[in-house]
Amino acid sequence: QSVLTQPPSASGTPGQRVTISCSGSSSNIGSNTVNWYQQLPGTAPKLLIYSNNQRPSGVPDRFSGSKSGTSASLAISGLQSEDEADYYCAAWDDSLNGPGVFGGGTKLTVL
Amino acid sequence: EVQLVESGGGLVQPGGSLKLSCAASGFTFSGSAMHWVRQASGKGLEWVGRIRSKANSYATAYAASVKGRFTISRDDSKNTAYLQMNSLKTEDTAVYYCTADYYDSSGYAECGYWGQGTLVTVSS
């Protein structure tokens, strides 16, 4: 059971806009920023969004992030077939269990 | 170009030990926190622990699942981070990734850059 809760799957057709949610608590998302990662099949995760809504250089502006209270969201607009991947949210947690927590991941399928 | 190359993975028996290395290049290693994250086959990501920079007193932190068994260290002169794993359990079987900080004009992110990972299999 992951500390951050994501839907296990999401889907969309090319060109559509999809969103993936990430729910946490006051000790993680509520008090720290959120990162999002994309993991293509057979590869290492890649930073997609950091500090809730910042895109690293090279990440298309089709990807955007937001945060409100103890939840965060990743939005992908103009969906493309190459966006089919697993997506993970992550945040630091102020509890005693250790500072790093990930969501369980969302598998995005492009229909 | 930032590069992180993990090594040292392999097959080990339950109760055994293994030490992973993460060789870094392309950025100022001494100024970066280094984290380890693992992923069991077909499963999600699990944060293992981190070591901060000298400026942050080389502070370490660990996930509850590995605390007391795993130790993270670093050698800034060799641009290398390490993960010493003792008292290994079958549930420690996973691909282990090391990560480094990402910086740009908008800010920074811990776990911004990732290596390709090294597989650790704990089995008798």
Angstrom CA distances, A52 to A22, A40, A109, B8, B27, stand at 11, 21, 23, 34, 24
Give the pLDDT score at A77: 97
Q: How many CB atoms lie within 10 A of CB B46?
A: 18
**Sign (positive/negative) of CA torsion A35, A36, A39, A40?**
negative
Residues of chain A with pLDDT under 70: 96-98
Nearest CB neighbour to A100, from listed B44, B47, B112:
B47
CB contact under 8 A, A99 and B104: no
Cα of B76 to nearest chain A Cα, Å: 23
Interface of B with A in 25-44 (CB under 8 A): 35, 37, 44
A103 to chain B, any CB pair closer than 8 A? The answer is yes
A95 near B CB under 8 A: no
Neighbours of A107 (CB within 10 A): 15
Do A99 and B113 make contact, defined as CB atoms within 8 angstroms? no
> Which neighbouring-strand residues pair with A9?
A107
Nearest CA in chain A to B46: A102
The DSSP-derived string for A56-68 is PTT--TTEEEEEE
At residue B104, the pLDDT reads: 87
User: Above 90 in pLDDT, residue B9?
Assistant: yes
Is B44 within 8 Å of A98 when comparing Cβ atoms? no
Count the Cβ atoms, other than its own, within 10 Å of residue A61: 8
pLDDT at site A97: 60
Among the partner-chain residues B64, B104, B116, the one whose CB lies closest to the CB of A44 is: B116
* Residue B119, strand partner residues: B95
Tens-place pLDDT, residues B19-72: 999 999 999 999 999 999 999 999 999 999 999 999 999 999 999 999 999 999
Q: What pLDDT is stored for residue B106 in this prediction? A: 85
d(CA A85, CA A94): 29
d(CA B58, CA B38): 21
pLDDT at A66: 98
- Selecting from B45, B97, B109 the residue whose C-beta is nearest the C-beta of A88 gives B45
pLDDT at A98: 63
Taking CB atoms and an 8 Å cut-off, how many pairs form between chains A and B?
73
Q: What is the distance in angstroms between the Cα of B66 and the nearest Cα belonging to chain A?
A: 10
pLDDT of residue B107: 87
In this prediction, residues B60-86 reach a mean pLDDT of 97
pLDDT tens column, B110-121 = 899 999 999 999
Q: Which residues of B102-121 are buried (b: 16+ CB within 10 A; e: fewer)?
A: bbeeeeebbbbbbbebbebe
The CA distance from B84 to B95, in Å, is 15
How crowded is the C-beta side of B116, counted as CA atoms within 13 Å?
A: 7
Kindly state whether A45 is in contact with chain B, defined as any CB-CB distance less than 8 angstroms.
yes
The pLDDT assigned to A99 comes to 81
